[in-house]
């Protein structure tokens, strides 16, 4: 039997896309499914992460995400992020787990942010909570002063777990509860990112950090999004 022609394969692909489009409009918009997403950092994934900032480099090496401070200026505050973009926000009721995470001469962890808009002043800004391996800081539009001391003497952790739901933040480290608080202003989270922070003096290349695995459980993914992903994949495979 002769293999199907390119025209036949193209017609089949178009038919499948049409079915997907039709099925999409038949699905209730309210329905969503909580899914788990993880990254073992086996390879670079530009579609999943985006670097925000100019004072660091981020690489994937030997199964780890690694970052190093490369400050543009001496005597400056470092606040660089590696933002999760695989599934855009907003986010609620999720748990982030980091495996084998640590830093030397820097603060490293997870930044959760919400966008705020003042209708009177027309000012837009982001409020952050920064959960490091050894401390926690609030931040407004990335303004943060890293003090010499630290809340916990743990630059490295085997596991760091952060849960958020309806304004409640719960942080666990190596199986122990570290902090549990609620901020009613944070009814959801708009952005999730790794954060590298610190203060450099004359040496602009001081500070490194690493993490082995990132897992987020509880992502709300609608059936429409799943079908859209399938549709995009089919379009790319068309001859």
pLDDT digits (tens, 9 = 90+) for 34-61: 889 999 999 988 899 999 999 999 999 9
Q: Does residue 91 surpass a pLDDT of 50?
A: yes
* DSSP-derived pairing of the beta strands 156-165 and 94-104: antiparallel
* Residue 176 predicted with pLDDT over 70: yes
Question: Over the chain, what is the mean pLDDT?
Answer: 83
Rounded Cα–Cα distance for residues 122 and 120 (Å): 6
* Residues 72 and 163 grouped into a single domain: yes
For residues 6 and 75, state if they share a domain.
no
Distance (Å, whole) CA 224 – CA 22: 11
Residues 12 and 53 in one domain: no
Are 159 and 194 found together in one domain? Answer: yes
**pTM, full prediction:** 0.79
Whether the pLDDT of residue 229 is over 90: the answer is no
62-85 pLDDT per residue, tens: 999 999 999 888 988 899 999 999
- For residue 44, the domain's CATH number is 2.60.120.200
pLDDT of residue 147: 67
**Residue-by-residue DSSP string for 149-209:** S-SSS-SEEEEEEEEEETTEEEEEETTEEEEEEE-TT-SSBSEEEEEEEEEESS-TT--EE
Instruction: Let me know whether 59 and 148 are in one domain.
Output: yes
Using the predicted structure, report yes or no on whether residue 178 has a pLDDT greater than 80: yes
Same domain, 237 and 156: no
List, for residues 144-173, the tens digit of each pLDDT value: 766 667 889 999 999 999 999 999 999 999
Average the pLDDT over 168-187 and give the result: 97
- Report whether 90 contacts 189 (CB < 8 A): yes
Long-range contacts of 16-25 (CB under 8 A, 24+ apart): 16/234, 17/231, 17/234, 17/235, 20/227, 20/230, 20/231, 20/234, 21/231, 23/227, 24/223, 24/224, 24/227, 24/228
Range of the domain at 228: 1-32+222-239
Q: Which has more confidence, 59 or 14? A: 59
Q: What is the pLDDT of residues 122-133, one digit of tens each?
A: 888 999 999 999
Residue 197 pLDDT exceeds 90: yes
* 45 and 80 share one domain: yes
Q: How many domains does the chain have?
A: 2
Q: Are strands 64-69 and 107-118 parallel, antiparallel or unpaired?
A: unpaired
What gap in Å lies between CA 204 and CA 31, rounded to an integer? 49
Query: In terms of domains, do 3 and 117 share one?
Result: no
Per residue in 201-223, pLDDT (tens digit) is 877 778 999 999 999 999 987 65
Are residues 154 and 55 both part of a single domain? yes
pLDDT at 19: 45
pLDDT of residue 227: 45
Q: Is the pLDDT of residue 119 over 90?
A: no
Query: Same structural domain for residues 210 and 237?
Result: no
143 and 74 share a domain?
yes
Residues 90, 145: one domain?
A: yes
């Amino acid at each position: 039997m002769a293999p199907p022609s390119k025209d036949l394969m193209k017609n089949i692909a178009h038919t499948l896309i049409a079915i997907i489009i039709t099925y999409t409009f038949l699905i209730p918009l309210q329905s969503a499914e909580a899914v788990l997403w993880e990254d073992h950092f086996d390879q670079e994934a530009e579609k999943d992460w985006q670097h925000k900032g100019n004072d660091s480099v981020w690489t994937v090496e030997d199964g780890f995400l690694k970052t190093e401070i490369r400050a543009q200026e001496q005597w400056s505050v470092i606040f660089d992020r590696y933002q999760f973009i695989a599934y855009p926000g907003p986010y609620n009721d999720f748990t982030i787990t980091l495996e084998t995470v640590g830093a030397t001469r820097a603060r490293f962890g997870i930044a959760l942010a919400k966008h705020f808009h003042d209708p009177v002043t027309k000012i837009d800004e982001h409020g952050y909570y920064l959960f490091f391996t050894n401390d926690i800081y609030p931040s407004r539009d990335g303004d943060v002063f890293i003090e010499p001391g630290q809340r916990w003497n743990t630059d490295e952790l085997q596991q760091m777990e952060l849960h958020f739901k309806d304004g409640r933040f719960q942080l666990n480290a190596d199986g122990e509860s570290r902090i549990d608080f609620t901020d009613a202003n944070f009814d959801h989270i708009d952005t999730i990112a790794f954060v590298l922070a610190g203060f450099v003096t004359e040496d602009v290349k001081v500070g490194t950090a690493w993490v082995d695995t990132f897992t987020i459980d509880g992502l709300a993914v609608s059936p429409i999004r799943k079908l859209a992903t399938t549709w995009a994949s089919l379009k790319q495979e068309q001859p």
